[in-house]
Amino acid sequence: MTQRVISGQLVGEFLGVGSVGESDPKAALPYVKRLKLPYAYQVPRIKEEDMIRQFGSLVEGFEEKGDYILDLDLYAYQEMTQNGTPLIPDQSHAHGLYLMMDGSRYEFFKTQQTAPATMCFSTRGSDGRQLVSQRMFHFYSSLMTRVAKGQVEHLSRSCKTVFLCQDDPALGFVVKMIRDGRADGLTLRQVIDGTEKLFPKSVVPAYHYCDDWRLLSSNSSYILWDGVPKIVHIDVLAFLPEIDPGQAESINSFMERGGALGLGVLPNVDDAYITPVTETLRRNLKLVLESFQKSTVSLDLLHDRAMISTQCGLSRASSPLSKEIHEKSNEFRSIFEETIKRLL
C-alpha cells in the first residue's frame, strides 16, 4: 500500500468545496480560518467570482459583463499557450484568495480552480457555438496551468502544504460530446491527460465532480479511479454508491495506491435540512457507508482515506447554514469514526 495523499490529521475532517453562501466576502473569513483544512473560499453572489468568469477575466477578448463569450484571435491564443508565466485572478474576482493571506500561517491550505474541460463547455464564441475542441482545450489547459502556478506561488509564502482542487462539473457533458463526434478532434485521453498534467508537483491534487460519478466510464475503465492518486470529491447523497463489482474494485485499487475520497454527504441547500447538521451527517453517512459496503468497497480503506464534505459548493445556501456547517465541522471526525467503526 503506497503513501496516501491526505495526512492522518485530516481523515474525517471537513473538505470545503469552495463556495460559501455569503454576500460579504469578509463574513466567511472567521469560520473558514478555523477549519483543519482552511481554503480560499469563493463568493459567487458577487458576479465576478462566478467559477467561469473568475478565470475567463484573465483572457483577452472574454466578455465579462454578459454571457461567457470569447472571441479569440491568433495573437491572444499564441500568447496564452506559449507563455508559461504564472497568472492569478485579482482580488475583485477572488476575494478569499487574498483575504485569507492576512499574515496567518497554515499547515494545510486548499484552493480550487475550474478544470479546462468545464471552461471549454461553459464558454461560447459570438456565433453561439460551444468552444469544445482540441484547440480550445489546449488553450484552456494552458490558462489553467498558469493559474495553478500563480496560485501556488501566491499561497506558498503562507502555507506549508497546498491542496489544489480542479472543479469539473461539466466533464460528463464533454465526454458525451466527444462520443457523439461533436468535439472537433478532442479525445477523452487528451482531456484526462491534460487535466492531470495541470497539477504542479508541489501540491496535493484534488478533483471535484458533482454529477453522476458512477457513469464516468470508458472502455471498461473508470475515469475518476484509474488516474493518478488524488482526493476525489463526489456527491454520494444524490448518487449513492450502488455500483458494480468492477467499479468497486477500481475504487479500492485507487485508495490502495494512495487516493482519497471527499464524501459529499451533507446537503448544500437549506431546504434539505429537516434535522440539525450533525444529526443529518450521522444519518446520511450511515446510509452512504452501508451502500459502499454492500458494493464491496473497502470500509477499512475508507476509514483511513476519506473526508467529509457537502454535495457541492454552498453558493445556494444561506449565510447561517454556511456558517453552521463550518462551525459544526469540529465534530465531523468523531462522527465519522463512530459511524464507520459500527460497520467494520
d(CA 278, CA 284): 10
Mean pLDDT (whole number) for 257-282: 98
* Domain ranges, ordered by start, for the chain: 27-261
pLDDT in tens, 287-318: 999 999 999 999 999 999 999 999 999 999 99
Cα 323 to Cα 98, 169, 281, distances in angstroms: 20, 24, 16
Average pLDDT score, the chain: 96
Q: What is the pLDDT of residue 220?
A: 79
State mean pLDDT over 336-344: 97
86's grid cell: 504564472
- 142-181 exposure pattern, b = at least 16 Cβ within 10 A, e = fewer: bbbbbbbbbbbebbeeebebbbbbbbbbbbbbbbebbeee
Tell me what pLDDT residue 1 has.
53
- 20 vs 126, residue with greater confidence: 20
Query: Between these two residues, 260 and 1, which has the higher pLDDT value?
Result: 260
Any long-range contacts for 247-253 (C-beta under 8 Å, 24+ apart)? 247/214, 247/217, 247/222, 247/295, 248/295, 248/296, 248/297, 249/296, 250/221, 250/222, 250/225, 250/226, 251/222, 251/225, 251/297, 252/296, 252/297, 252/298, 252/301, 253/225
Please tell me which residue, 166 or 129, carries the higher pLDDT value: 166
- pLDDT tens, position by position, 89-146: 999 999 999 999 999 999 999 999 999 999 999 999 888 888 999 999 999 999 999 9
Is the pLDDT reported for residue 28 higher than 60?
Answer: yes
> pTM for this structure?
0.96
- Contacts by 221-228, CB closer than 8 A, 24 or more apart: 221/250, 222/246, 222/247, 222/250, 222/251, 223/171, 223/175, 223/188, 223/192, 224/254, 225/250, 225/251, 225/253, 225/254, 225/259, 226/250, 226/254, 227/192, 227/196, 228/196, 228/199
Core vs surface per residue 307-332: b (16+ CB within 10 A) or e: bbbbbbbbbebebebbbbbbebbeeb
Instruction: Please give the pLDDT value at position 281.
Output: 98
Report the percent of the chain where pLDDT is more than 90: 91
Q: What is the pLDDT of residue 221?
A: 87
Q: How many residues does the chain have?
A: 344
More confident residue, 282 or 62: 282
